[in-house]
Copies of this chain bind each other. A is one copy, B any other.
């Protein structure tokens, strides 16, 4: 399995050619769907257990950093992936920080768009998960017409520079686009309406974004094409199936951490001579 190769965004992304319903890692042995989901959950748990072990080394080493950026349309599963991979993972919250970026506050808008992002990048030994990110600033204002093509291009270049700086200073960056179909989004929004415990998640503004679906897809393609660098690669994850989506992201995360060549740090002193009285 080389998920990083398999799901890496192509040079020129066309989201209409990417099937959000694909489940390429699902075994095709005639089992019922329920069995496949269960196996995907179990396999994801196994991969995450390996991630947790590497995370301990990352934390102990207090040197490298890992940043996982999750993007996608509303209901694509940014929250769900974060929860599935990390809430039940044996990864201590001490080594993990998840940040959601909603609409910027007045104070945040008074700064450049990378200012609030920079404040949340991972420190030494940490894993940071971004639920939305600086990419929102080349998506929403672009679709709403608040910035033109020239400004969008300038911001995308600024993002490339910023991410290169992060990589050069010890941060491994991976970026995941959770790709759902318009039909799947309809189903999920309807589920939020049908479940009183999910009403708080339903924002009528989401319907306005849904109405501009194609424009958002084009904005994503442009943003991903412009920032799909080797030091901060984009992965396109088919996300109509939640369990399969989690499995792919778990593979990506594990392979990325295996590539970081982590090891236990040397002790702070010659411990052979230490005696506890």
Interface residues of A (CB under 8 A from B): 56, 60-61, 79, 82-83, 86-94, 96-98, 100, 129, 131, 186, 189-190, 193, 196-197, 199-204, 207, 210-211, 264-269, 271, 274, 276-277
Q: Is the CB of B89 within 8 A of A94?
A: no
Q: Is the CB of A131 within 8 A of B94?
A: yes
Q: Is the CB of A268 within 8 A of B131?
A: no
24 contacting pairs across A/B (C-beta < 8 A): A79-B94, A82-B94, A86-B93, A87-B93, A88-B90, A93-B97, A93-B98, A93-B129, A94-B98, A97-B97, A193-B271, A193-B276, A197-B264, A199-B264, A199-B266, A199-B267, A200-B265, A202-B268, A202-B271, A202-B274, A207-B274, A207-B277, A210-B276, A211-B277
Measured CB to CB, the closest approach of chain B to A76, in angstroms, equals 15
Apart from A94-B98, A193-B271, A199-B264, list 4 A-B contacts with CB within 8 A: A83-B94, A92-B98, A93-B96, A190-B276
Q: Measured between alpha carbons, how far is A131 from B93 in the docked complex, in Å?
A: 11
Taking CB atoms, residues of chain B closer than 8 Å to A61 are 200
Given A93-B93, A274-B193, A274-B207, A200:B88 Cβ within 8 A: no
